[in-house]
Amino acid sequence: MALGKIKADTLEHSTAGSLDTQYVVRGSTKVWINAPAAKNSINDSLNVSSLDDDGTGDFGLHYTASFESTYYCFSPGVDDGGTTTAVIGCDGTNGTYASGSADFETFYVNSSNNRTMTDQYSFLMFTGDLA
């Protein structure tokens, strides 16, 4: 069975108008992950090859397919289990990360210490051009 291609510069809907395909290609989520923080495991993901444990509240995420450059964007989220407010951020030199991986740390909002990860979850989504 031969596989075919669909080539289009524009997608058009009968009532909603049209959209340039570059909005779909460039604006779609390329990596996402839902991970329980204490278990160093992955509940579900897209384009994630592995997750490593770099210490309390500190983890590395490795992509199956790398980004074209290091100038991609991520949107973080943390479920703190209702105990306190937490935040997640990139753990890179001057806020940068690699095209094939990124390191992250989670913190209490009112503390500079890494948070103790117990029943919390990390949620991350990434957009950008894949290599």
Question: Hey, which bits of 22-85 come out as E strands?
Answer: 29-36, 44-46, 48-55, 58-63, 73-79
CA distances from 27 to 16, 95, 128 (A): 19, 22, 7
Least confidently predicted of 39-48, 88-97, 110-119 = 110-119
Is the pTM higher than 0.75? The answer reads: no
pLDDT digits (tens, 9 = 90+) for 30-60: 999 888 766 667 889 999 999 887 776 777 8
pLDDT digits (tens, 9 = 90+) for 4-13: 787 888 888 8
Least confidently predicted of 8-12, 15-19, 65-69, 82-86 = 82-86
Average pLDDT over residues 59-63: 86
Could you tell me if residue 114 is left (phi over 0), alpha (psi between -120 and 50 degrees) or otherwise beta? beta
Sign of the dihedral defined by the CA atoms of residues 105, 86, 51, 118, in that order = positive
